[in-house]
Structure formats: structure tokens, C-alpha cells
Amino acid sequence: MLPLNKIREDLKEIRYYYARKEIFDSAIGGIGLNRVLDKVKKYNTAVQNAPPRLYDLYICLYVKNYTQEGLSIELGYTPEYIQMQHKKLLLFLQSYFKSEDERK
């Protein structure tokens, strides 16, 4: 089972990738693909199976680079609600990867 701290680390790298996507994409021809793209694909595949609210949360926090505070303002929710939903996202991903490992 993937520990939650590992999922958090991976999500930070995914957020960084999307924040700097143009730089990464421009370097493909000269340097090649960065390994973070493997994580991006892995997590994007997982989140495709998430409930719509968690899917939306993933996009906003990790693809569009919102902060939890900024997203709470944008959506009109309390920061605590966004934190709770984020915890659900982490647990969903952990469960998804656990069941994926069991299928192998």
C-alpha cells in the first residue's frame, strides 16, 4: 500500500510539473522526457475513476495550481471543507493504488 506521505510527495511533483509545463515540454526535444510524466500519467489515470468532486478537486489543486485557500474562495466553501475533500482525495488515491497492486 502506498503511504499517504508518498502520495503527497508525488502530488507536489505533479503540481510542480503542471506549473512549469511549458518549460518541461520545450525541453523534450533536447533533453527528453522527465520521469515525472510517469507519475502524471499514473495519477491522471487513477483520478479518472474518482467521483466528480474529487476529480474536480484534483484538477483545481494539481493541474490549475490553486491553493486550498484560493479554491475555497473560488468555490464558496470553507477552507475546512476543502481540506476534508482533499483528505478524501488522498484516501481515494491510496485505495485505488492498493486495488491496482492487488490486480497485478
Contact 102, 94 (CB under 8 A): no
Boundaries of domain holding 89: 4-103
Distance CA 56, CA 73 (A): 15
For 5-27, how does the pLDDT look when each residue is reduced to its tens digit (9 = 90+)?
999 999 999 999 999 999 999 99
For 74-94, how does the pLDDT look when each residue is reduced to its tens digit (9 = 90+)?
999 999 999 999 999 999 999
Count of domains forming the chain: 1
- pTM for the whole thing? 0.91
Angle formed by the axes of helices 79-103 and 68-75, to 10°? 110
